[in-house]
Amino acid sequence: MKNIYKLPNNDLELGDYPYIIDPEYTTIIWHVVHICNLHCSYCTGYGSKHESLLTIIGEQELLDAFIKVKEYTKRKLMLCCTGGEPSIVKNYGNFCAKLSDNGFILQPKTNLIGNESDNFINKVNPANVALIEAALHPQPEENENLWKLFFTRAKKAHNLGFNIVIKYIATPYRINTLNARIRKIEDAVQGQIPILISPYLAGTTWPKMYSNQQIDKIMNICNIRKTIFIHRWKCTNSFKGMKCDSGRGVIMLQVTGEFLRCWNARNGRSYGTLQKGILNLDPEPLACPYSRCACTQQAMCWGLSPWNHIKDAKKEQCYYNRFVGNINKCL
Ligand code: SF4
Ligand code: SF4
């Protein structure tokens, strides 16, 4: 498969990997909206009823604001569009096409069920999309029509040249039947699209919601981003004091337009406001003040050297490190 990167430890990385380890890029985790068309029991991503800025200020003004932020920061920007579900916001597909035409790299996270999914796939230039992370949630898994819709869109995106991965979250209740569930997905994608099996890493219940046997089972099946999973498993409660790249290489953009360091820092200091075109990034990675990192975006734990908390790990083994990482070493 194209755009699969094999790391020295045999772990596999995906299409957004070159941007993630590139020191010139900052990833903006943009919460496009917090509303969603699905209601997964494990969700931490929806709740606030705040309208999307795309609806409030409109396409052109929002595009101008993003361009101003790019000029202000003098950085290359990758926009991770997440939610809630971004593809339920009117004009989302069209707006993403404009962002990609204006030099932004996109990294959308989606359930592929929203009305704007087709517009996104039809209008956006695949060359400017690092990775579509298409998460297969319980409703499409249990509803034949939604299942067909999900895979029709995923295959269309793949055929048009997008990097896409099917993300499947191995929640505890899915584990006993995980092999059969994965086989069904494999039958649907027929080897054309990678399948990312991930444990449920967010919230306060990770990792104690899993038994040791369940962790072992996921670890045996997981063959993409396994390193993140293992390190996250061992380090979830050890982030305090670690120098984290959130605030410089990764920044969160709230649905309101406020830039914050990360999800944990929702009550922390503001890094700027999108509508004003201002984003003041930290000059270097700062220590994490929180004992536990429950930020849902995996990119957020790709800090200067989070892996130092793992006994005997060496800095050179930090493949996800934006400062010492070098893609040429890893291919
Ligand atoms: S699709 Fe995603 S955002 Fe929507 S309810 Fe499920 S987990 Fe939450
Ligand atoms: S909570 Fe996580 S993302 Fe936030 S500063 Fe700490 S390590 Fe970084």
Per-residue pLDDT tens for 265-284?
A: 888 899 999 999 999 999 87
The atom number, within ligand 2, closest to the CA of 250 reads 3
Q: How far is CA 179 from CA 34, 186, 205, 220, 221, in A?
A: 32, 10, 24, 11, 8
Spans of the chain below 70 pLDDT: 45-47, 294-331
136 CA to middle of ligand 1, Å? 10
Per-residue pLDDT tens for 86-126?
A: 999 999 999 999 999 999 999 999 999 999 999 999 999 99
- pLDDT at res. 291: 80
Domain range for 87: 5-330
Q: Which ligand is nearest to the CA of 38?
A: 1
> CATH number for the domain including 213?
3.20.20
Cα 105 from Cα 174, distance rounded (Å):
34
The atom number, within ligand 1, closest to the CA of 113 reads 1
Tell the residue nearest (CA) to atom 8 of ligand 2. 244
Residue among 238, 242, 239, 172 nearest 201 (CA): 172
Residue among 22, 19, 24, 50 nearest 35 (CA): 50
Domain count along the chain = 1
Cα 194 from Cα 303, distance rounded (Å):
26
202 CA to middle of ligand 2, Å? 13
- Does this model's pTM top 0.85? My answer is yes
**Best probe residue, ligand 2, of 80, 237, 246, 286 (max atoms within 8 Å of C-beta):** 246
| Cα diameter, the chain | 52
The atom number, within ligand 1, closest to the CA of 85 reads 3
- CB count within 10 Å of CB 148 equals 12
Taking CB atoms and a 6 Å cutoff, what residues make up the pocket around ligand 1? 36, 38-40, 43, 45-46, 83-85, 111, 137
Q: How far is CA 200 from CA 137, 206, 220, 233, 331, in A?
A: 12, 7, 16, 11, 28
